[in-house]
């Protein structure tokens, strides 16, 4: 039951919607791909049975989501979930998905506070997934964030930690989020 609790926590805190494949990569990274998928499917189905998650179907198979999530498993949600799993696997990370920012009339796909492996530096990123969006759309979002006088306060309140700077990162399908981040 411990794995189910861990999966339920990560689904509610960060992912919101995912597949057994992604959950398996996150929770059982050392296991062979088929084994981790089976273990994840079993745990996710247990959470559905406990009324903690919902299961949905796509042409590719099943997806799982928290009850408050209305998203379907489409390329945009798939990219966000995949990137969040990569961040959680590579950093000590606090991740918030689909955060509304009323002051600039925007909703960020994902905002993450990442801590490096030596626990000495933090990086705050506003992540925008560019599935059906243009580079000019990303530039407009970046401009809004950079001109938002209360941005650092908003981000600090969101993570309950002092955020001193941030960056806006756009990612397209097929790109690796780790390669888009500044190096230590």
Structural domains of the chain in order of their starting residue, each with its CATH number: 2-71 (1.10.10.10), 79-180 (3.40.1350)
> Distance between CA atoms of 10 and 23, rounded to whole angstroms?
9
CA dihedral 131, 95, 34, 61 (to 10 degrees): -50
> Distance between CA atoms of 74 and 64, rounded to whole angstroms?
13
Give the other-Cβ count within 10 Å of 152's Cβ.
15
Instruction: Find the helix or strand (DSSP H, E) in which 96 lies.
Output: strand 92-101
* Alpha carbon separation from 7 to 20, 23, 41, 45, 96 (Å, rounded): 10, 7, 11, 11, 16
For the chain, how many helices (H) and strands (E)?
7, 7
Q: What is the pLDDT of residue 53?
A: 97
Bridge partner list, 107: 100
- Local mean pLDDT, 10-residue blocks, the chain (184 residues): 90 96 94 92 96 90 92 94 95 93 95 80 91 91 96 96 92 93 71
């Amino acid at each position: 039951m411990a794995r189910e609790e861990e999966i339920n926590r990560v689904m509610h805190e960060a992912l919101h919607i995912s597949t057994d494949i992604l959950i398996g990569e996150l929770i059982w990274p050392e296991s062979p791909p088929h084994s981790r998928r089976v273990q994840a499917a079993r745990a996710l189905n247990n959470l559905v049975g406990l009324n903690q998650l919902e299961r949905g179907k796509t042409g590719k198979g099943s997806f799982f989501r928290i009850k408050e999530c209305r998203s379907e498993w489409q390329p945009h949600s798939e990219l966000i979930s995949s990137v969040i799993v990569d961040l959680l696997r590579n950093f000590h990370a606090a991740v918030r998905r689909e955060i509304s920012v009323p002051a600039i009339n925007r909703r960020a796909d994902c905002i993450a506070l990442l801590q490096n492996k030596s626990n000495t530096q933090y990086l705050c990123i506003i992540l925008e997934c560019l599935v059906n969006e243009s580079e000019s759309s990303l530039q407009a979002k970046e401009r809004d964030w950079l001109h938002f006088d209360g941005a650092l306060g908003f981000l600090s309140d969101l993570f309950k930690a002092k955020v001193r700077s941030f960056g806006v990162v756009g990612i397209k399908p097929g790109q690796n989020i780790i390669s888009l981040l500044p190096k230590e």
